[in-house]
Amino acid sequence: MSELNLDLEYLPKLPRNKDVGIGCIGSGFIMADCHLVAYRAAGFNPVAIASRTPENAKRVAERHAVPKVYDDYRQLLGDPDVEVLDVAVPPDLQLGVIREAVQHGDHLRGILAQKPLGMDVAEAVEIVRLCREAGIVLAVNQNMRYDQSIRACKCLLDRGVLGEPVLGTIDMRAIPHWMPWQERLGWVTLRIMSIHHLDTFRYLFGDPTRVFASIRSDPRTAQKFDHEDGICLYILEYDNGLRATSCDDVWAGPALEGAEPDIGIRWRVEGLDGMARGTIGWPDYPNPTPSTLDFTTKRHPGYWFQPRWKEVWFPDAFAGTMAQLLCALEDGTEPEIGGRDNLKTMALVEACYQSVREHRAIDIQEVLDAAQRPDIASM
């Protein structure tokens, strides 16, 4: 019986040169508590920050030793020390920021944009076009790909330990902290949480052919603002027979109203030769709880392997997204989280909305073709 290699590749590749100057736009939670924490731990070089609340930007700069603070992000864009831009603004503002940023291609080489990449597929296409024409490398912060358990599972799939995948599932029972701009946009789950899971399925298994989605509002959030996409269920169909499905339950029962909570995110991948299951540590934030992976295989019957690590999704995975962009700039390659590839994740999200409206499974190519743009239609 052959020995299994338990040295799983769950950590991201890091760039050789970590001194590239990073300019940060935004000083909210995701920048202050995730990006900059991870960048400092990885040895990256944030050189400047700006946000719509300059006082908050100053506090964040002091906390993370960022040397330059600008009152306006346009001043930051003009700083020649900024080679890579980290954009952490609400989705309805992202296109405007990037449209201005690409005017500084004399020194700006790369942009890391937040997910979702704009308000819809059309805006995402425009962002991709702007960066391509300016010669700027675009990456999208799809950070669940860099959760340690997800990357370890991908390693098992790539090594053939699980065999041909048959079924993949994600079961999320969590009560997120909604951001103020979500009320303005009327968004809850699909573009905020589900986009992580949809992109993760793409990362693990490749592109599905079609998706069927069913959603209802979240009773708790409905008391605060109107929204369409509260509790979301969807099934991804692959031509080879593989099915992937997720239950994204942001209600999670009356856990804030007096009932006992049962909070967590669990995933599972079943293959012809083995099975992997895991948990995502994010719902325990700010308690640093590593995600987990257990797997079993026909090659070693009657045994569960349980590799463990100390790293956590929030904030450690955020080093992976920036590292991927920096590595792409070093090597002259397209990032694995590149903007062009992310159009397919955006299209998958839009297909879920369309499926809900039309009560049918939506072929992903329908969404790509409907954009009527060569950027997408030729993919």
Are 160 and 114 contained in the same domain? no
Q: How many domains does the chain have?
A: 2
What pLDDT is stored for residue 96 in this prediction? Answer: 98
Answer yes or no: do 161 and 125 share one domain: no
The confidence score (pLDDT) of residue 310 equals 96
Residue 357 lies in a domain: no
Question: In the predicted model, is pLDDT for residue 64 greater than 80?
Answer: yes
Phi/psi class of residue 19: alpha, beta or left (left: φ > 0; alpha: ψ in -120 to 50)? alpha
| pLDDT of 89 higher than 70 | yes
Q: Are residues 97 and 241 in the same domain?
A: no
Q: Are residues 247 and 266 in the same domain?
A: yes
Regarding whether 97 and 220 lie in a shared domain, the answer is no
DSSP for 186-221, written as a single string: T--SIIIIIHHHHHHHHHHH---SEEEEEEE--HHH
What is the per-residue pLDDT across 204-234, written as a single tens digit (0 to 9) for each? 999 999 999 999 999 999 999 999 899 999 9
Question: What's the whole-number average pLDDT of the chain?
Answer: 95
The domain that holds 51 is classified in CATH as: 3.40.50.720
Domain assignment present for residue 356? The answer is no
Residues 53 and 34 in one domain: yes
**Helix residue spans in the chain (DSSP H):** 29, 36-42, 54-64, 73-77, 91-101, 121-134, 148-158, 180-185, 195-205, 219-222, 318-331, 339-358, 364-370, 374-377
Q: 126 and 197: one domain?
A: no
% of the chain at pLDDT higher than 90: 91
CATH of the domain at 219: 3.30.360.10
Residue 308 forms part of a structural domain: yes
pTM: 0.95
Cα separation, 96 vs 100, whole angstroms: 7
pLDDT of 362 higher than 50: yes
Give a yes or no: residue 238 inside a domain: yes
- Maximum C-alpha span of the chain: 63
Asked if the structure places residue 318 within a domain, the reply is: no
Q: Does the pLDDT of residue 356 top 50, yes or no?
A: yes
Q: Are 361 and 332 in contact (CB under 8 A)?
A: no
Alpha carbon distances (Å) from 358 to 151, 300, 355? 35, 46, 5
153 and 47 share a domain?
A: no
DSSP 96: H
Name the pLDDT band for 283 (thresholds 50, 70, 90).
confident
Lowest-confidence pick of 161-170, 276-285, 325-334: 276-285
Question: Are 167 and 278 members of one domain?
Answer: yes
pLDDT exceeds cutoff 80 at 1 = no
Q: Do residues 262 and 197 both lie within one domain?
A: yes
Residues 84, 219: one domain?
no
Say what the pLDDT of residue 219 is. Answer: 97
Q: Domain boundary at 312, 337, 370, which?
A: 312
pLDDT at residue 2 in the model: 61
| Segments forming the whole domain that contains residue 230 | 148-312
Residue 154 lies inside a defined structural domain of this protein: yes
At 346, is the secondary structure helix, strand, or coil? helix
> Is 207 among the domain residues?
yes
- One domain, residues 165 and 295: yes
What's the confidence (pLDDT) of residue 368? 82
Local structure of 235: helix, strand or coil: strand
* Domain finish residue from 282, 312, 342: 312
Among the three residues 113, 142, 171, which one is the final residue of a domain in this structure? 142
The answer to whether position 10 is within a domain reads no
Reported confidence tier of residue 373, pLDDT bands at 50, 70, 90: low
Share of the chain above pLDDT 70, in %: 97
